[in-house]
Amino acid sequence: MDIVLRNNLILITTSFETLNREWMKNFLNHHSRGMLFLSKSVLVFRNETLTEVRDEFLRELSQYHASTHEYDHKFFLRSMLKFGTQPIKIELKKLDKTQKIKVNLYAYDKNTVLITLESPNSWVLSYFRSQLEVYVERGTDISLVVDVSDHRAKARLERTLNKKDVLHYHLEYSYDNHFLSKLYSDFANYTFGDLCREEEQSHLTQLYRLLECPVGASADDIKRNYKKLARAYHPDKILHENPTMIEHYTQKFQLLQEAYTTLKEVS
């Protein structure tokens, strides 16, 4: 394990074995809604309500790190605690062979989707929870039932399923022939004329979705969502990340600015 204290984050490079230690899993499970899953790492953002959980994690981390390097951990712990406002990035140092995880999707109707794993996997399930938490109705150690009754939930589900690589897992999705027809049954009776008329509004609809707002949202709601998303995707937060990550955040931030400017005028 290696730990580097940077200006904008605490970087932990470790093995998958360490990632599965109880104190590590406990910390990440508490922050399931504040994590960004990447193909080889997870980025955990600060949560004001979980300060004690974070401090306890840093103590465990410092002790574990000290035990493997044979030094007194107290000084190092004090240094890490000074980074209390910064994100924590946990990156896998050595990846095992990519493991394929089969995920089955089933739509009860246009409002409810069941996500099921073939076998329990806490990391993959944590990924789904981190993306869909506000829409999860119930779940087990291998499944989640998700409420997708409004367009925001469907858009979030689509973005979640677009990601195929989580840590060292590759997700393979399967669903029956009726999945899409059930999920998007509202569109079953549309005519070509209906679609042409709606095309005029498609650009604005995309802007609302980008800001995670319902179509026709108030100016206050648009502003509130813009500020929240702009903070999350501001490129300054990841200045020392790889160029691809910085480019992704920069493009997202610019799109958010353009969407807010346009919808501010519309509202």
Question: For all residues of the chain together, what is the average pLDDT?
Answer: 80
pLDDT digits over 51-62, tens only?
A: 889 889 988 888
pLDDT digits over 213-244, tens only?
A: 887 788 888 899 899 888 888 877 776 666 66
pLDDT digits over 123-163, tens only?
A: 888 889 888 888 999 889 899 999 998 878 888 888 888 88
Q: Provide, rounded to the nearest whole percent, the portion of the chain with pLDDT above 90.
A: 10
* pLDDT higher than threshold 90 for residue 210: no
Between helix 122-132 and helix 22-30 the angle, nearest 10°, is 20
Give bridge partners of residue 198 from the DSSP assignment. none
Name the more confident of 172 and 39: 172
* pLDDT higher than threshold 70 for residue 173: yes
> 63-97 burial string, b = 16+ CB within 10 Å, else e?
ebbbeeeeeebeebbeebeebeebbbbbbbeeeee
| pLDDT at residue 116 in the model | 95
